[in-house]
Chains A and B, each alone.
Chain A
Amino acid sequence: MRVAVLVLLSLLFVPLPTLAQHGAWCACGGHATLPVHFEIDHSATWRWAAVREFDKWNTYGNLFQWSQGDGSAGINGKNEVIFFTPSQSLDIYGIVMDPETYAVTYLNPLSAFGAPPFDACPPPAGTTCGSFTETDIIINSAFDHGWQTSTPHDLETGPASYGAALLHEVGHTLGLHHNFDNLSAMNDYGDLATIYVSYSDSRAVRGHYPEAAVTLLDVGTYPFRFTGFQPHGITVASVAPTTVQAGGTFTLANFTIENVGSEALDEVELRIYLSVNEHITTSDYLVGTLIWSSLSTWWDTTGRQFNVPASVPPGTYYVGALATYHGGTPDAVSYNNYWTLDTSNQLTIVR
């Protein structure tokens, strides 16, 4: 009997083959059964904001299902998302979140995320990984700058992006570890960059959960490039100069485009526009098109020059981009097909 119990216990800690860490991506541990069911214990506005982030991960794999929770959460074997005050998190989970912490993920068993424990990539040799029984995401309702459902341009002082925080924490519940060497939702960027599931992330999901992987075409473009650690791990895209003559030239620097999908993309185009508003469309003023015959990932480090057509009326314009493939076809994943720079990088056209 004792032997049988020991064998059973040892089996609990045998790494599941599909959940074991792999050198090509940074994941260890995860849920043994997919899709993972989450209860979202939010009011309607925040609940739909949460669904948007679960759906971003679901784009690349059949990973999550969700249902509306009853507004409570706890250590109960269910996977839950909830806003908690410090006193609530102390009462339920035995911890207090300080005002600087956006959110945390409670995990049971912790050793399934890596034994011996490790945080960021790459995992140490000999690390074993296991199966999660409960993953709860606790959003800090006392975060000192507050929350918003949109993505702020202000990385330092504005309210935090709920979506950015949740996308990151949901990634942890898949077994994804911190990924500081790559453009990744699992890096610790400010809000601007963490709203995207990147090439690195989609590869991690497909590699870690091959049985759930979704076949899709997806080109993603971002108004920044990966630079490493300081200060937010990215350099935000910019234009220079910000005032030019109609017919003149300006330089756009530090933007990224990636093939986030599972299939090869051909004739990928990134069209750069000037717009009188923040919403970039094909009706805006086209100033240039970048074309790749095939694409994995590409980022600008040098700046690219574009000519402002003489026909563009004087005025101040937003600079933005739209990405397509196969000669102008938009893909099915729209949120990462476009970007617009903020007002500090508007372009003023004069005659």
Chain B
Amino acid sequence: MRRLMGLLLMSVCLGSWAFPAHATRVRKLTLTQTRDQADTVLLGTVNAVTTRAGAGGKMVWTDYQVTIEELLLGAPGSSAAEATTVSFAGGRHGALDVGILGVPQLEVSQRYVLFLLARDNYPSATVGWGQGIYKVLEIVIDAVRRTVLLSYNRQPLELDADGALFRGSPIVVNDQGWQALSMQREDFDASPKAFEPLILDAAGKPIPQVLTPPQTSAVPIADRDFADVSHLRQFLSGELQESLAAGRQ
């Protein structure tokens, strides 16, 4: 019963999570590039959000106050900080209501791993906009509690058979709990996809077709080897490598 309640609670909490935002047109980065570009990587919880006008009143900035639980990567000496401010362009402050489209948003009370840039005035304080943001979630799958680091576009960090880190296929929460996300196209019409075509050769004769279903690498969600913060620590220190196999970015 407690497990069921836990799952229900988690579902309710996460059900309010809107479809993931993602950066506007930003170059795709590998995990290694994301790590290498970060000035600091921290584990922490957003505890407040405020807005302010930037210099000259040209831009509004949304400031997230983050309580630091652990500095995972960063300059020596900076680990003494207990809290930091993470800023993103855009918001409403007084009469100012301006912004940059596609800038990431964080949630108050949510625990995150953040790959941060130290420079001021970037629209996104995180590397590669949403690419430097991971939610730290405790989820229950088949009655087993597991930690998942979920990217901004819902891809969990996972370990392959060789123990290398990669961004897995998206997962989503619904009434049945956590499930692999199956991509849904819009419900365009009564017939969303046209019927199969007739295929003729150059002389106008039908070509017999052998239709081979596409290979699928779908692994049941309970069998997926999700990485947790300890694996991320190893990756950040260079002890764990990124898997760059096809389709694993």
Binding site for B on A (CB under 8 A): 24-25, 75, 90, 92-98, 100-111, 113, 117-122, 124, 144-145, 160, 164-165, 168-169, 172, 178, 180-183, 188, 190, 194, 199-200, 203, 226-232, 270, 285-299, 301-307, 309
Give the docked Cα–Cα distance between A101 and B60 (Å).
19
Task: Confirm or deny: B97 has a beta carbon within 8 angstroms of a beta carbon on chain A.
Answer: yes
Asked if B2 lies at the interface with its beta carbon under 8 angstroms from chain A, I say no
Q: Which residues of B contact A113 (CB under 8 A)?
A: 101
Minimum C-beta distance from B31 to chain A (A): 12
Q: What are 11 of the A-B contact pairs (CB < 8 Å)?
A: A94-B59, A100-B29, A100-B128, A102-B27, A172-B101, A180-B153, A182-B185, A230-B249, A231-B249, A232-B28, A297-B194
Residues of A within 8 A of B209 (CB): 304-305
Which residue among A94, A117, A145, A169 has the maximum number of chain B CB atoms within 10 Å of its CB? A94
Q: Cβ of A230 and Cβ of B202 under 8 Å apart? A: no
User: Does B90 contact A110, Cβ atoms closer than 8 Å?
Assistant: yes
Once A110-B99, A286-B202 are accepted as A-B contacts, the answer to whether A296 and B189 lie under 8 Å apart by CB is yes
**Selected interface stretch from B39-47, B64-72, B115-123, B227-235:** B115-123
Main secondary structure of the interface of A (DSSP, over half): mixed
Bound together, the chains give a CA A31 to CA B96 distance in angstroms of 19
Question: Are A96 and B122 touching (Cβ within 8 A)?
Answer: yes
**Given the known A-B contacts A231-B249, A288-B201, A298-B194, are A98 and B117 also in contact in the complex, defined by CB atoms under 8 Å?**
yes
- B20 within 8 A of partner (CB): yes
Which 5 pairs of residues, A with B, have the shortest CB-CB distance? A119-B21, A94-B58, A94-B59, A110-B99, A109-B97
Measured between beta carbons, the chain A residues less than 8 angstroms from B20 are 119-120, 180
| Stretch from B4-12, B140-148, B210-218 forming part of the interface with A | B210-218
* CB contact under 8 A between A287 and B211, given known A98-B117, A105-B101: no
A108 to B187, alpha carbons, bound, how many Å?
Answer: 32
The yes or no answer to B220 lying at the interface (CB within 8 A) is no
Residue from B18, B27, B97, B181 within 8 A of A118 (CB atoms): B18
Docked pose: A194 CA to B195 CA in angstroms: 26
Residues of B within 8 A of A231 (CB): 28, 247-249
Cα separation A245 to B193 with both chains bound (whole Å): 34
Instruction: Select B207's contact among A98, A199, A294, A307, beta carbons within 8 Å.
Output: A307
Across the interface, B122 reaches (CB within 8 A) one of A98, A182, A183, A299, namely A98
A-chain residues with CB within 8 Å of residue B208 when the two chains form the complex: 305
- From B187, B195, B207, give the contact of A305 (CB < 8 A): B207
Q: Tell me what chain B mostly uses at the interface: helix, strand, loop, or mixed.
A: loop
Q: Considering the complex, give the chain B residue whose CB is closest to the CB of A187.
A: B22
B183 close to A (CB within 8 Å)? yes
Write out the residue numbers on chain B whose beta carbons fall within 8 Å of the beta carbon of A302: 211-214
From the candidates A121, A303, A304, A305, name the one contacting B19 in the complex (CB within 8 A).
A121
Q: How large is the interface on B (under 10, 10 to 19, 20 to 34, 35 or more residues)?
A: 35 or more
Cα–Cα, bound, A32→B154 (Å): 34
A90 & B121 in contact (Cβ 8 Å cutoff) = yes
* Distance from B89 Cβ to chain A, minimum over Cβ atoms (Å): 5
Besides A110-B91, A181-B183, A296-B189, 7 other A-B contacts (C-beta < 8 A):
A94-B55, A94-B58, A119-B21, A228-B170, A295-B194, A309-B201, A309-B203
State how many angstroms separate the Cβ of B126 from the closest Cβ of chain A: 10
In the complex, chain A residues whose CB is within 8 Å of the CB of B59: 93-95
Q: How many whole Å from B12's CB to the nearest CB in chain A?
A: 16
Known: A95-B89, A296-B192, A297-B188. Is A291-B122 also a contact (CB below 8 A)?
no
Query: With contacts A104-B24, A305-B209 known, is A203 near B188, CB below 8 A?
Result: yes
- B98 in contact (CB, < 8 A): yes
A290 and B214 contacting across the interface, CB-CB below 8 Å: no
Q: A93-B58, A102-B26, A113-B101 are contacts. A181–B185 as well, Cβ < 8 Å? A: yes
- Which A residues are CB-close (under 8 A) to B60? 110
Contact of B21 among A25, A104, A118, A165 (CB under 8 A): A118
By the criterion CB–CB under 8 Å, are B24 and A290 in contact? no
**Interface contact B102-A106, CB-CB below 8 Å:** no
| A169 in contact with B25 (CB, 8 Å) | yes
Q: Is B191's CB within 8 Å of the partner chain A?
A: yes
